Structure 1
């Protein structure tokens, strides 16, 4: 790699496959950084660059770091099994940077001091070197990364519940299931799901899906599910059980659906039911908590209902590569692929990996807020779905719009919810909500303007969007359109006068940035305030500034 390529990597910053380390780190820290990359997808380690991207260069007193061959040898002797890294040095800004190309490995590596680490994203999307759990080390050494496919010696079909295997066949026969499974024998079914090997050894996944109570207690003691119903501080229901996953799915879904009240809205001749939680929302979120939890951790997969929300939590953070900032845009990465495959083939979850996006779509279509994952940590995933009163006018509009033959996708629905609540939306906010870049977000907002759903104000970076007059009329709130535009003008006036009071004066460009409007609009607004004697113009044209009048 040449200096320009390295400079570009530094400009982008640290990622899952690029890590920076200061040039003076000790050999133990160097080894940890290398095995961290090797145990994930491999990548580039830049030695001589700080975490913040400052190029300081390697410590030339450490001769092993300045010589590529000696640095490669140091890495080899400090890792077990040895990591064979390609090393070169590049001079950038008069500093020597060591470029270490670490290959992804099929086996698990440790430092010579026995530390196992892997590169992953934390819950906020920041790349980190995290300790590997014992089962990950064992599975990686055996070439198996799916804990649910781990073989368990000493089990046979007698350790499985025949009723649960029959449940799987029945689910596969119905609805969106894989009908090919419905006519298979028990052994054939297990083989089709990759839950038994050629030597007829069962896997952990077979136990979790079909095990008897005694087998589950013995093989997976960390697993249990719970349901709670709260009325204020009073606990009205509290169940903790340890049952196979397909039965657990039905058990939890039935309890939520039995308490899922709804309201109605009339749109023309149609009556639209608005439940607190869409049935697909309930089932997808419960399935996710069962399929993606970490079965090596003690803890309960818990479903809790209260007056105003449904909260579902499970042990284990998001799977590698998934976090709250890419949840609806990233390709699905199940922690337990064997369990995920079984649930898909049973027809219990979305088969094309759009389950979470559909959950957002269903709740927003009911005129309700989207799910909230902000309470999640590196050790647990927590999703809260608020019930509250539905925005029945918005739900009615969405239903009527779709009945007309038009479609509203998730980005459309997120936009409608945002402008309904906040009265306006910017490109930056849309990019955050959609989990896309700003150019894509801007294109979507402009498309909604063309469809007559939104109107825009301002230009380029100062542009904002709000609901169109036509949409306000369809929502039965034509006066709100006038109030929204009028309120913005009042708010802009107050913002400018407050700025002048605090800073002494304001220019057209400062007013444009402050009010998030185009420079031409900012100039017109300042002149109106001048004409009403609320401001005094000092200077001319581009150099003009506006101050408060003398009292």
Structure 2
């Protein structure tokens, strides 16, 4: 296992632990050891599953960390089964590493909520095994049994539906580009409510219907959402908006409040097109806000809270992430609604993603606008999405806009390019945790970006024959990104050197030559030449002023060729 090699090379086991990997040193007392490992298995089964490696001290590194384990694998498997309720089946395997015998316990994600024989229930949160509260147990049990609280009856009549909310729903459906959605706008009230999953089995409004379409639902406090705008992140709020249910109207009001205070940075591309870069990309904010409304746990009678300033935009929703979804797998876990009926209603209206790619879109849109990715944090009572409001890096925005559309819409590609703006080379093992995929999937993404039509990466010469080579941005890409790349000056020197050598050999250079030298398009070649002319390394030598055949020769600051010292014969003395 690569992680064991990492520990052997000097990293402590504790630093290698994740939300799906734990290291254990078996306790001397066999009974206590079995109980300790059973607790660890319960902890992972109540989360997303994971692996426990027994026989590794988590506070040591190198060979000293591998102390070994002499437990019988089959007996340990049997004891875990006996000491858990309901009985948990795990897979136990022997490992030989650094001259020691280790045990690897592989725990699947549970279908139920598990506890120890003594009735203690634990769950893995990041790298900690924490006790679960009764509310947490109930929530996890409902999610795993497929119980949908939002589909249950609210006891309210269909006559309680807010006419403005229903009219807003029809307007959304009528304005959709999807013909199927447009047809729903012509449905009668009862048929439309059925389509929105707003009617329960007993004919009354469902919890979902009450939340979306009624005022004062029983599961929402005074405010469904609170929006605050501040001129500085620590200043007094200059605008406060408190909105109650229905949720569809509350969502629209908060979204409009954010949009009303958005600033725009115009950026002109090389082909004359103009980008309008918002302070916070609307597509990203919309996804974060709709996720807060449909995945927040409304049973807590909480509130969606939005804080907006030029420095950051923070969206907080009640309740933790849905079972099985963590901050380390949120990009790739896929759609998992806490309340399927509520989520279906929002999707039908076109407010939510159909296939669970909302978080992908948040990451992608932030990078495309030249900004950092959002920060998502989870607590027992809330989930927070934080967008930083630093000025956009327009070079990144321009470069991304020049890529093929399929790469612009690929979150993996955006994250990899972002990594390579900060680091000269990356390997698939480094990329995998960032894009939240396996190493082989990360390698496939790198290979695709190195091939045409993207062609933005290349394997380094020293590793190109390796199974998992190191990749870097091509020289012309680094030149295009300019100061957005932390190591730009050295890469730019490489472009300068090649063009200077060509001019020394042939006396001149033109755009076509630059295109062939660096395999770039006409606009990228123009930018490279313009930069060299601006620094007076080149100057135009042809009468022609436009077109790819314009010739350039040495400028005032063109470096002189180094001459080798030759011995000078001194005259003989008379």
| TM-score bin (small chain) | 0.5 to 0.7
TM-score by length of 1: 0.67
Q: Which residue of 2 aligns with 1:437?
A: 438
Unaligned runs of 5+ in 2: 1-15, 59-65, 495-574
User: SS of the residue aligned with 2:275?
Assistant: strand
Cα RMSD of the aligned pairs, angstroms, is 4.7
The question of whether the paired residues in 2 share the 8 Å contact of 1:90 and 1:99 is answered with yes
Within the candidate set 468, 473, 480, 1:467 is matched to: 473
User: SS of the residue aligned with 1:238?
Assistant: strand
Distance of 1:326 and 1:67 partners within structure 2 = 28
1:282-301 alignment, distance < 5 Å: 282-301=285-304
1:472-483 alignment, distance < 5 Å: 472-475=478-481, 483=489
Within the candidate set 177, 181, 206, 2:184 is matched to: 181
- For each residue in 1:44-63, what CA deviation from the matched residue of structure 2 results, as whole angstroms up to 9, or x when unmatched? 9999989979645389xxxx
**Cα gap change, 1:111/1:395 in structure 2, threshold over 3 Å: closer, same or farther?**
closer
- For each residue in 1:178-203, what CA deviation from the matched residue of structure 2 results, as whole angstroms up to 9, or x when unmatched? 34532333333333333333322433
1:281 paired with 2:284, answer: yes
Within the candidate set 31, 35, 44, 1:24 is matched to: 31
The question of whether the paired residues in 2 share the 8 Å contact of 1:225 and 1:301 is answered with yes
Q: Which residue of 2 aligns with 1:162?
A: 163
Q: Which residue of 1 aligns with 2:210?
A: 207
User: SS of the residue aligned with 1:227?
Assistant: strand
- For each residue in 1:495-514, what CA deviation from the matched residue of structure 2 results, as whole angstroms up to 9, or x when unmatched? xxxxxxxxxxxxxxxxxxxx
Q: Which residue of 1 aligns with 2:340?
A: 337
Unaligned runs of 5+ in 1: 1-11, 60-64, 489-551
Aligned-pair distance for 1:454? 2.8
**Cα gap change, 1:175/1:467 in structure 2, threshold over 3 Å: closer, same or farther?**
same
**Cα gap change, 1:32/1:189 in structure 2, threshold over 3 Å: closer, same or farther?**
farther
**Cα gap change, 1:56/1:389 in structure 2, threshold over 3 Å: closer, same or farther?**
same
Distance of 1:211 and 1:189 partners within structure 2 = 15
Distance of 2:116 and 2:35 partners within structure 1 = 8
Distance of 1:449 and 1:96 partners within structure 2 = 40
Distance of 2:196 and 2:88 partners within structure 1 = 38
Distance of 2:140 and 2:438 partners within structure 1 = 39
Q: Which residue of 1 aligns with 2:220?
A: 220
Aligned-pair distance for 1:143? 5.7
Distance of 1:45 and 1:393 partners within structure 2 = 43
The question of whether the paired residues in 2 share the 8 Å contact of 1:136 and 1:145 is answered with no
User: SS of the residue aligned with 1:303?
Assistant: strand
Aligned-pair distance for 1:384? 1.4
User: SS of the residue aligned with 1:310?
Assistant: strand
Count of paired positions? 455
The question of whether the paired residues in 1 share the 8 Å contact of 2:395 and 2:484 is answered with no
1:190-339 alignment, distance < 5 Å: 190-213=193-216, 216=217, 218-221=218-221, 224-232=224-232, 233-267=235-269, 268-339=271-342
TM-score by length of 2: 0.65
**Cα gap change, 1:455/1:481 in structure 2, threshold over 3 Å: closer, same or farther?**
farther
